[in-house]
Amino acid sequence: MSTPHLLFKDIDEPGLDTLDVYVKRGGYDNLKKALTMPPEAVVEELKASGIRGRGGAGFQMGTKLSFLPKGTMDKYVVCNADESEPGTFKDRELMQKIPHLLIEGILIAGYAAQATKSFIFIRGEYDQQASILEAAVAEAKAAGYIGENILGSGHSQDMWVHRGAGAYICGEETGLLDSLEGRRGNPRLKPPFPANQGLYQGPTLINNVETLSTAPLIIGMGGAEYAKLGAENSTGTKLVSVSGNVKNPGNFEIELGMKSRDIIEGLAGGVPDGRQVKFWFPGGSSSPVLLPEDLDLTYDFDTMAKAGSMLGSGAIIVVDDSNKVVDVALKLAKFYKHESCGKCSPCREGTNWTVKMLQRIDAGVATPMDLDILASVQDQIMGNCLCVLGDAMAMPLSSMVKKFREEFEEHIELARARNPYGDEDAGQAEPPIEIAAA
Ligand SMILES: Cc1cc2nc3c(=O)[nH]c(=O)nc-3n(C[C@H](O)[C@H](O)[C@H](O)COP(=O)(O)O)c2cc1C
């Protein structure tokens, strides 16, 4: 299947991050086009495109937009640029190289929603990208694309770049809203959903960087034309971030429905010589792992779901046979334990106990029965919290225990043989803090 470039068209053109170059290649023409259409018609185009959210959950953007109530109350557009799912680095490239495409997308979405205020919530670690965005917003304001009565259309919309402080939970849309409002980023109870009651209690459209950056392209080519790209129920192109044990890691724009093997072995060059794929995460570290025999599946939302996993943010992490599954599981669990905001007990306690149990397995003080307890802890996390941060650990963890149970058991036996006296501190427990000699 060919790989058309929409988002990544001329992505490495020098100066593309400036208004001058962006406008010379047709930038903001799609905003101009949208502003000549009734807002409802813009919503319809986005609906017709079938585009599903690129941030993780895969909800249809046009449908979400249509949930926002009509009326003159304050409405908001919030761009989720937190990009905190491990393995995901596509939004960074878009913001760094073509920030005006995102700004244009936010303006089009804001016009469609009749929102007057918009925010880009960007993760604190993306200092360079935040500076680029701030400069681009200032340029767009000076040129009249942002502000009062944009291009004489009657639509007014302001925009701010807000830097987060680097917490995974602030990528979760309601944690993000709390953080943006100046509170500690904790998830909110849903409903109400942000479309009805979001930022400052007002109707709020929250979309990912890639989703919003695609909006101008959809308006340009028309929703129906965009929907011809990709696969059924997974229209369009998608940026995939491929990392882990591959020869050529990076971001690639693919047409959804491409064979997974062609992404991993073709675009990303496959695993290093002499090694085999052991398993792979198809949609970030939160997605249940798939096996080498799944490489011939097409890469789209429904196929990944049918295979028991998910497309998520489009981050493919490849693990080759030089790695132990217990090491990967422990690394992953430590991340989620660290990032759990602590608001819900199953997540707070479950991520902590999972790390402890994996450390026991590694230390040689566990028995195969502990694997059943480990699996049952994951079951007790899933579906029992305000947000899915806990599930994001439980889903891949469960899949690893299920698909690699024999290796876990073998690891337990070998570790027990190495630790006959049951020293709880053996294995990969946190290293002791070293105190430098005075
Ligand atoms: C723990 C957690 C972290 C998340 N992190 C991100 C993120 O970094 N970026 C993102 O776009 N969506 C993230 N999401 C998904 C958002 O909650 C939300 O679904 C998304 O911003 C909606 O945009 P979209 O429909 O365009 O995908 C996260 C969700 C959870 C539960």
Task: Please tell me the distance from the alpha carbon of residue 236 to that of residue 91, in angstroms, as a whole number.
Answer: 17
**What is the pLDDT, as a whole number, of residue 3?**
67
Mean pLDDT of 229-233: 96
Q: Judge whether 405 and 370 are in contact, CB under 8 Å.
A: no
pLDDT at 428 over 90: no
Top mutation candidate among 47, 59, 63, 85 for ligand 1, by most atoms within 8 Å of CB:
85
Task: Please tell me the distance from the alpha carbon of residue 78 to that of residue 202, in angstroms, as a whole number.
Answer: 12
Residue whose tokens read 């109870």? 189
**What is the pLDDT, as a whole number, of residue 224?**
98
**What is the pLDDT, as a whole number, of residue 433?**
52
Q: 47: Cβ below 6 Å to ligand 1?
A: no
pLDDT digits (tens, 9 = 90+) for 38-72: 999 999 999 999 999 999 999 999 999 999 999 88
Name the 3-class secondary structure at 24.
helix
Q: 185: Cβ below 6 Å to ligand 1?
A: no
Class of domain 325-418: mainly alpha
Ligand 1 atom with the smallest distance to the CA of 389 is: 1
Question: Using the 8-state DSSP alphabet, how is residue 290 labeled?
Answer: B
Task: Please tell me the distance from the alpha carbon of residue 255 to that of residue 225, in angstroms, as a whole number.
Answer: 14
**What is the pLDDT, as a whole number, of residue 244?**
97
Q: 211: Cβ below 6 Å to ligand 1?
A: yes
The two structure tokens encoding residue 103: 């700004």
Nearest residue by C-alpha to atom 20 in ligand 1: 55
Q: 286: Cβ below 6 Å to ligand 1?
A: no
Top mutation candidate among 173, 339, 388 for ligand 1, by most atoms within 8 Å of CB:
173
Q: 8: Cβ below 6 Å to ligand 1?
A: no
Of the candidates 143, 133, 54, the one whose C-alpha atom is nearest the C-alpha of residue 100 is: 133
Top mutation candidate among 46, 80, 176, 285 for ligand 1, by most atoms within 8 Å of CB:
80
pLDDT digits (tens, 9 = 90+) for 235-272: 999 999 999 999 999 999 999 999 999 999 999 999 99
Higher pLDDT, residue 419 or 281: 281
280 has which bridge partners?
290, 318
Pick the CATH number of 19-228 from 3.40.50.11540, 3.40.50.720, 3.40.50.2000, 3.40.640.10: 3.40.50.11540
Mean pLDDT of the chain: 95
Q: 55: Cβ below 6 Å to ligand 1?
A: yes
**What is the pLDDT, as a whole number, of residue 430?**
53
Which amino acid makes up residue 97? K
pLDDT at 200 over 90: yes
pLDDT at 438 over 50: no
Q: 71 to each of 44, 75, 115, 142, how far by Cα in Å? A: 18, 9, 10, 29
The domain defined by 231-320 carries CATH number 3.40.1790.10: no
**What is the pLDDT, as a whole number, of residue 287?**
98
Mean pLDDT of 185-201: 96
For the chain, domain boundaries: 19-228, 231-320, 325-418
> 105 C-alpha vs ligand 1 centroid, how far in Å?
17
Q: Judge whether 107 and 157 are in contact, CB under 8 Å.
A: yes
CA 112 to chain CA centroid, Å, is: 24
Ligand 1 atom with the smallest distance to the CA of 59 is: 25
pLDDT digits (tens, 9 = 90+) for 364-374: 999 889 999 99
Q: 289 to each of 87, 304, 363, 375, 395, how far by Cα in Å? A: 14, 10, 24, 15, 9
pLDDT at 77 over 70: yes
Ligand 1 atom with the smallest distance to the CA of 388 is: 31
pTM value surpassing 0.85: yes
Cα-based torsion angle of the residue sequence 207, 212, 213, 218 in order, rounded to the nearest 10 degrees:
140
Which amino acid makes up residue 419? N
Mean pLDDT of 25-32: 97
Cis peptide before 86 (omega within 30 of 0): no
Nearest residue by C-alpha to atom 29 in ligand 1: 172
With residue 373 as reference, give the H or E element that holds it.
Answer: helix 368-381
pLDDT digits (tens, 9 = 90+) for 315-333: 999 999 999 999 999 999 9
Task: Please tell me the distance from the alpha carbon of residue 200 to that of residue 202, in angstroms, as a whole number.
Answer: 5
Q: Judge whether 269 and 247 are in contact, CB under 8 Å.
A: yes
